[in-house]
Structure 1
Amino acid sequence: MTPREPIIDLHTHSTVSDGTDTPAELVAAAVAVGVDVLGITDHDTVGGWAEADEAAQAQGLTLVKGIEISCHYFSSSLHLLGYLTDPADPGLTEELTRARESRATRLERMVERMVADGIPISYEQVLRHVARGATPGRPHIADALIESGVIQHRDEAFVDWLNESSPYYVHHYAIEPARAVRLVRAAGGVPVIAHPFTRTRGSSIPDSFVEELADAGLAGLEAYHRDHGPEEVARAERLGRDLGLLLTGSSDYHGTGKQNRLGENTTRPEVLEAIIKQSSGITEVVRP
């Protein structure tokens, strides 16, 4: 009997950033649905790695440690996944700290705009939804809006209240993408653009910009993601062929915070092995 191909999901979030599962719960949820290899990629932090590592070893799951780095592209945002970086690298650590601090202060300003518009919410209420040690983010405002009965689900908040065209939106510090790519490489990691052609972003990045990032050391594109339709997938596949980039697939799971489901998009085993081969940081894949 031919063994089945492993289910590899390389982009998920825990309560350490804006997910609703703790790192240990995230690992348990992945095991429960048959995921074999899980990437934990919280926003701008490695704070969930240790707990996820311990849970993965106990439950027989292969764990790939990563981060999702907030970057800016003109007036829009772009996210970069950095896999297997050295968590103590000073250059990357400094940028992640600055981004987390900026996220926290901008949430307070967003809430101030909402309160001024008569929306029943407070910053203290938002903070109650942030797990201890976690990075505050827009999903925590969404949770407060749900608690107040303003909306029903986090996804609704991002459609009408928290997106970049909303009057309540406030920008936060984010690194320039090419510099982020170079920092990930300097930290021994492997940089992959998360959902590069998402239809929820205000503007799409041009092919020429992907080429610039490839010249800076970009390793891959997250081609297979629920925010990509057939046209976006085909575009990513073409760029992958033309530029020699790896193509990954992931759920971008956030627990009950979003409708994304673990394992709904996956990465090929040979692509994971190529990521591991390219890495040179001290972080290793945790295998059971």
Structure 2
Amino acid sequence: MSILNADLHCHSVVSDGTLTPEELAARAAANGVELWALTDHDEISGQHRAMAAAHGRGMKYLTGTEISVTFAGHTVHIVGLGFDPDDPQMQQGLVRTRGGRGERAQEMSAQLAQVGIKGAYEGALRYVGNPELISRTHFARFLVEAGVCKDTGEVFRRFLTEGKPGYVAHRWASLKDAVQWITRAGGLAVIAHPARYRFTANEEYALFSEFKAHGGQGVEVVTGSHTAAEYVKYAETAQEFGLAASRGSDFHSPDESHTDLGQLPYLPGGLTPVWELLEARIR
């Protein structure tokens, strides 16, 4: 069952993507995706639209979200799959998590103004489908449009990252909260793109240990930001911690994303795919 074109990580205009859930479903289906999940940041309001669009295109669907958590002073992302999208506890938790984004965005804009970039908050808002979810990605698109940087990669080299103008830390949900919101709503929690966090070996071990202790069950092994060597490394990590393996492009936009929907290599053999544990939740 690891040989399945499943794409279980992508974003729409409901958070920081540029396509609607319906456009994403069409793109995924055109690329041969058989099982799809929309995983907008800290938001599940697009789930019913995505599910209907998936079914209309002949794809199976798993509900999804990507929750921002703070762990060891870093922001870590936890993907939730297969949960009840109408679960009130999860909805309330995500509302609280989103609550700090607007204030953070104003602080980011003020920092950019200090280095001569005016109107960044208003500029970023033009790219926001959901003002509650204004993020660094929206600021990056504005900086490209304004001619400050040639592409979003340059933005994140010069701005919006730790130690650079426009970076404002935000305290997200705890790891325990995120995992429990997902699992109590009937879903499965997955550590997203673990290679991106630049943890020390001890910090990474602590992340996986604590995640598993709270009831987390999966890790993204094959994802758009991982190298081939990292596929191997996190396949081994999945086996070490007894976690199921997930696969997802982390697609945001045709103009920005390195990996298109459904275009990743298949999961390595010898792993338990997350969709095998979620068979009863696939719709």
Match of 1:203 in 2: 199
The question of whether the paired residues in 2 share the 8 Å contact of 1:7 and 1:35 is answered with yes
> Structure 1 stretch 102-111 or stretch 90-99: which is displaced more?
90-99
Asked if 1:275 is matched to 2:277, the reply is yes
2:6 is matched with 8
Partner of 2:123: 125
> How do residues 1-288 of structure 1 correspond to structure 2 at under 5 angstroms?
5-132=3-130, 135-198=133-196, 201-204=197-200, 205-255=203-253, 256-265=255-264, 271-277=273-279, 284-286=281-283
Distance in 2, Cα, partners of 1:37 & 1:133: 29
Structure-2 separation of matches of 1:54 and 1:131: 20
Structure 2 Cα separation of the partners of residues 214 and 182 of structure 1: 11
Give the 3 Å change call, closer, same or farther, for CA 153–245 of structure 1 in structure 2: same
CA apart distance, 1:28: 0.8
Matched position secondary structure for 2:61: strand
Q: Which amino acid aligns with 1:233?
A: Y
CA deviations over 1:62-84 (Å, ceiling 9, x no partner): 22210000001122110000112
Spell out, residue by residue over 1:161-211, the C-alpha distance to the aligned partner (whole angstroms, 9 max, x if none).
12233232112231111332122111211000001122xx35354223312
User: In structure 2, what is the Cα distance between the partners aligned to 1:226 and 1:123?
Assistant: 29
1:4-25 deviation digits (Å, cap 9, x = unpaired): 9541111011010011111000
Q: TM-score, structure 1 length as denominator? A: 0.87
Whole-angstrom distance in 1 between the partners of 2:149 and 2:114: 18
**Contact 2:244–2:272, Cα closer than 8 Å, also in 1:** no
Residues 61, 82 of structure 1: CA spacing in aligned structure 2 closer, same or farther, 3 A cutoff? Answer: same
Secondary structure of 2:66's partner? strand
Change (3 A) 1:285 1:266: farther
Q: Which runs of 5+ in 1 are unaligned?
A: none
Contact kept in structure 1, 2:34 and 2:60, CA below 8 Å: yes
Q: Could you tell me the percent identity over the aligned residues? A: 32
Specify the SS of the correspondent of 1:99: helix
Distance 1:206-1:67 versus aligned 2 partners, 3 A rule = same
Rounded Cα–Cα distance in structure 1 between residues aligned with 2:277 and 2:17 = 25
- Over residues 15-39 of structure 1, what are the superposed CA-to-partner deviations in whole Å (9 max), with x where a residue is unaligned? 1001111100000111122222211
Q: Which amino acid aligns with 1:119?
A: I
The alignment yields a C-alpha RMSD, in angstroms, of: 2.3
Q: Using the alignment, how far apart are the partners of 1:189 and 1:180 within structure 2?
A: 11
TM superposition score normalised by structure 2:
0.89
5+ long unaligned stretches in structure 2: none
Question: CA separation in 1, counterparts of 2:83 and 2:3?
Answer: 26
Letter in 1 for 2:69: C
Aligned length: 276
Are 1:16 and 1:133, in contact at CA under 8 Å, matched by a contact in 2? no
CA change 1:121–1:266 in 2 (3 A) is farther
